[in-house]
Amino acid sequence: MSTTTDLVLDEEPGATPKAPRTTSAKGAKTRSTIILHVLLMVGAITMIIPFLWMIFTSVKTNAELAANPPTFFPTEWRWENYPEALDAARFDLYFRNSFIIATGHTLITLVFGSMAGYSLARIPFRGRNIVFLAMVAMLMIPTYTKIVPQFLIVKMMPLFGGNDILGQGGSGWLDSWWALLIPGGLSATSIFLFRQFYLSLPKELEEAARIDGLGEFRIFAQIYTPLIKPAIATVGLLTFQESWNNFLWPLLVTTSENLRVIQVGLAVFQQLDATAWQYLMAGTTLATVPMVLLFIFAQKYFIQGFTNTGIK
């Protein structure tokens, strides 16, 4: 059987021996591609198995959930778990509250985050670099370390909830929509992403707009912002997802059932001595549906946004 080396030896004298290197390079590229695809498949399977386990558990019977060893696929698909889970608590109210809070956080982030990102990227002012470095430093602070200061600020908010001008004597914003909407409405991550996108746009647009007599706000709103749709989709989706899945903060600052969100409402199925796994998984599956639909409709801009951000 003829090998690559044999073919090279049979070539005319003086010919450039490119065949072995080309074949070797193609082989190495093929092996790298196969290894990459195998790793991606392992990662994809690892990510999707918990999601499938959640869906399959949501349609199992009590007897199957108590079986030992446990089964992955249900032998009897009990779809009645879904309406029974919805009847166990006021999930329509919890869905509405989560939607209002997630939408509010998304709008606040898109409006004020884009303004802050634009100012850090396109408007020269004294101390801009220091402000940006402080913003980057905030990215390093773990979220849970900010819980206690945020709680004290909300509780001691002056002139709200019976508080005096010094924030004493009442409950402040606790157990109100203010506590759910204002804290966490804007993040340093969103400002950083917006700044990176505004930096990528050409300066000539700004100069042409100024020659035409446009002010700073019209340059921001009419010239630059329409060009960063991937950034708007990326930041909007990340903000909505983080707000929708937030559990700890709504649990800390609210006690009224009328302000309860879906993630806190699912705790009704978790009791001290037993957990109704089929109802908990059914409610969790329903709570996941809005995020899946949102990602499906915005995935084009979402992926493009992350790609552009990674290039900078």
Check: CB of residue 251 under 8 Å from CB of residue 262.
no
Query: Which residue intervals of the chain bear CATH 1.10.3720.10?
Result: 86-308
Q: Supply the pLDDT for residue 18.
A: 53
Q: Which fold has domain 86-308?
A: MetI-like fold (1.10.3720)
Helix extents (H) in 59-146: 62-65, 81-87, 91-108, 114-122, 128-139
Name the stretches of the chain with pLDDT < 50.
1-10, 311-312
* pLDDT given at position 118: 93
Beta bridge partners of 270: 275
Q: How far apart are CA 85 and CA 88, in angstroms?
A: 5
* 3-class DSSP assignment, residue 275: strand
Cis peptide before 69 (omega within 30 of 0): yes
Instruction: Give dist(CA 100, CA 115) in Å, integer.
Output: 23
* pLDDT 10s digits, 99-133: 999 999 999 999 999 999 999 999 998 989 899 99
Three-state DSSP class for residue 163: coil
pLDDT of 15: 54
- Residue 1: per-residue pLDDT: 42
Q: What is the pTM of this model?
A: 0.79
Q: What's the pLDDT tens digit per position in 8-21?
A: 444 555 555 555 55
